[in-house]
Amino acid sequence: MDAPPRSDMLMRGDPLAGLLEGPRARGAFMIRACFDPPWCVRVEDRAPLSIMLVVRGDAWVVPDEGEALRLRAGDLAIARGPDPYRCADEPATPPQAVILPGGECSYPDGRSLKGHWDLGVRSWGDRLEGSTVLLIGTYMMRGEVNRRLLDALPPLLALPSDVWECPLTPILAVEMVRDEPGQEVVLDRLLDLLMITALRAWFSRPEAAAPAWYQALADPVVGRALRLLQDDPARPWTVAALAAETGVSRAALARRFGELVGEPPMTYLTGWRLGSAADRLRESDDTLETIARHVGYGSAFALSSAFKRVYGVSPQEHRARPA
């Protein structure tokens, strides 16, 4: 019997963590940015998700479309890609650098900035003791399981320090500039923890407009049904079997699930299975037959047919594509 990967085990019991873990951060772009005004960096990295934590001073996050967001010391912001935005001391300050895909940096005219603003281990900007210091972590690839999560987020959100105090700031500030064996893995896990903690805090706020699946987790019937489907997608589920597990009638479960989640139980399960398969294709060397059994399809052919119908490409093409 195949042992489940760590990401599958972490999905059990905590659907939000599972959605974010879809793939976990692996070699995330982590930087301590230090600036004196005037400063402005344009971000065009097309990354799916970035988190910015202001340690000292003030900063503005200015999207190409939408309202600018002011951050003060202790505030945290999350930007959902791929749309570009600017980080600056003031909204009107012109860009001095551009962040490109893969963490590459250039001047606005296209000349490479490589090495010119380096300040040491994962530190970048004007000077280490700049009046503004931000800790920035960026997920470099978009997994398929966390698509539900990304689609639920606004392009830009903030958690001010007066409504939420980040418990990980001191740890992240220390670990960000350490250069020891295994440090990249430590930072990846810290980024995961910071992101999950921040998103939990965000979804608990009235203005967050939490997605239906997140709100449904609080329901004693539908919340249990969601966890059952996510914990054991390979089980040959039917609405009747799911209703028996949750202690309600088939009709009652179907009606309640549809009202709270916005889609029928089996439609949700199909999306979860295919998303899990998409992630496993990229994060493992498992055969298509093994993946099919793991996510609840009877054969590689059945999985391949369903996958291509939903994603428009075959599983093999999806695996071969750059992340």
Structure tokens at 51: 């988190």
Cα distance between residue 208 and residue 149, in whole Å: 13
Residue 284: per-residue pLDDT: 84
Tell me the per-residue pLDDT of 206-239, one tens digit each, with 9 for 90 and over: 777 777 777 788 899 999 999 899 889 999 999 9
Q: How many residues would you count in the chain?
A: 323
* Positions of the chain with pLDDT lower than 70, given as ranges: 1-24, 141-147, 322-323
- The identity of residue 320, as a single letter, is A
Residue 4: per-residue pLDDT: 40
Rg (the chain; Cα; Å): 21
Q: Which of 274, 263, 272, 260 is nearest to 217 (CA)?
A: 260
Residue 19: per-residue pLDDT: 53
Instruction: Match 């449904």 to its residue by tokens.
Output: 216
Q: Is 16 exposed, middle or buried (0-12, 13-18, 19+ CB in 10 A)?
A: middle
Tell me which DSSP letter residue 117 carries: T
What b/e sequence results for 100-110 when a residue is b if at least 16 CB atoms lie within 10 Å of its CB, and e otherwise? beeeebbeeee
CA distances from 43 to 32, 71, 107, 300 (A): 15, 17, 12, 40
Omega before residue 167 within 30° of 0, cis = no
Residue 13: per-residue pLDDT: 44
Structure tokens at 27: 């070699």
What is the four-CA torsion angle of 122, 22, 226, 270, rounded to 10 degrees?
150
- Who's near 285: CB < 8 A, 6+ residues apart? none
- Who's near 316: CB < 8 A, 6+ residues apart? 288
Residue 218: per-residue pLDDT: 82
